[in-house]
Structures are given as C-alpha cells and as structure tokens.
Amino acid sequence: MIDFAAARRMMVDGQIRTSDVTDLRIIGAMLEIPREKFLPPEQASFAYFDLDVPATGAAPPSTGRRLLKPMVLAKLIQAAEIADSDVVLDVACASGYSTAVLARLAGSVIALEEDGPLAQRAAENLRELDTVGAQVVTNALGAGWPEGAPYDVIFLNGAFETMPSALLRQLKEGGRLVGVKGGPPAGKAMLYRLISGEVSGRPIFDAAAPMLPGFVQSPTFVF
C-alpha cells in the first residue's frame, strides 16, 4: 500500500524545493492536493515521480494528455507571478490537477480541455476536492475561451511549436503566458508578456513537455 502523503512530501522536498521554487503558496498547494486522485488507478503509483504522467488509462488512449512533471508545473506557475485577484486560463487542464493548484493562488481559473471525457473528469475531481473559483469548459485548445477574456495569466499544460494568435489576443494588458516551447532535448520554458499591445517572450529554464494538439507547426516544403 502506497503512503501517498509521504510520497507527496518527498516530491515537494526532492523536486520542488530543490528547483528554486520559493513561493510558499505553490509549495503549500502541492503538499495538500492529492495528485494521485487526478490519475486513473493504473497510473496512480506514478503520481509523485519526476514524470509527465498519462492522465488517461491504457485503453482506450483518447488523448495523449499528461500531467506535467511536478517541477516543471511548479516553476512555470511561479514564473507567472499569479496574484490572488488574477483571472487565469488553464489550457489543456486534462484531469484538473493544474487547475486545483492554480485555484489556490488566483482569484478565478477557467480550465480548458478539448477532450470531453477528460473535461468531465476534471470537473468531478475539482468538485470532490471542493475547489473554489474554478470552472471547466470544453473547446479547441488553440481557440482558448474568449468568453472569459481578457486573462491576467494563460497557462499551457504542455509544449508548443507555434503559438495560436487566438490565445495571445485573450491576454490582458500586462498579462503573462507561460508554457514550454519546442520538444526534447532542446525545449525551453517561456514567459511571454503583453506590454502596450506587443507580446515579447524570454526563456526562463530548460524544460521538456508533451506537445499539445493544435500547437504544432505546419510542415513546409522547400524546393
């Protein structure tokens, strides 16, 4: 029988605190929220490993959606500098773990998932944990959720090769977007800001994450 509470403490001490995550709100949320509850039973034993864990069961693999490695998740959230009044769009929320963490920091969170069954699971998981200020919606990931815009923060649960312009248009002035650009072995966690109508970005740390559908660059032909 796995002692998930002990595994959670080991994850925070061994993966989060040692990675320069100093925001006590993030540390507290990741100590308290049972990550294993957001995984199918056959994946629960991997909940606190340094892995991108599949959010769906082995069969049928309805999506390739995964929960981000705890360290990558925590560092991206810290880089976004979320205030307790911020409105956050959580893109590719999968089964809702990232939303549960973000809801501990922000004023409100809209959790976006394009896979219907996963979105339903996310809503159920968040409800079971009495998560306040979170709403789950279903739409194409690259389209975002214009009805809730503009956002102070847009959080991408995965990697991208190209950023859909629809998401950038949903940022508030001064808003931040975080995610991982490119695939392994050369992926970079990125922080983008909208200042005076212009978006600029900078790398913040080396990272790898699963590629998100709708964020892959179209192939080009060279003659």
Could you list the active site residues? 62
Q: Find the angle CA(70)-CA(36)-CA(4) to the nearest 5 degrees.
A: 95
| Residue 176 near residue 196 (C-beta atoms within 8 A) | no
What tokens were used for 170?
A: 């949903």
Strands 53-54 and 66-67 turn out to be: antiparallel
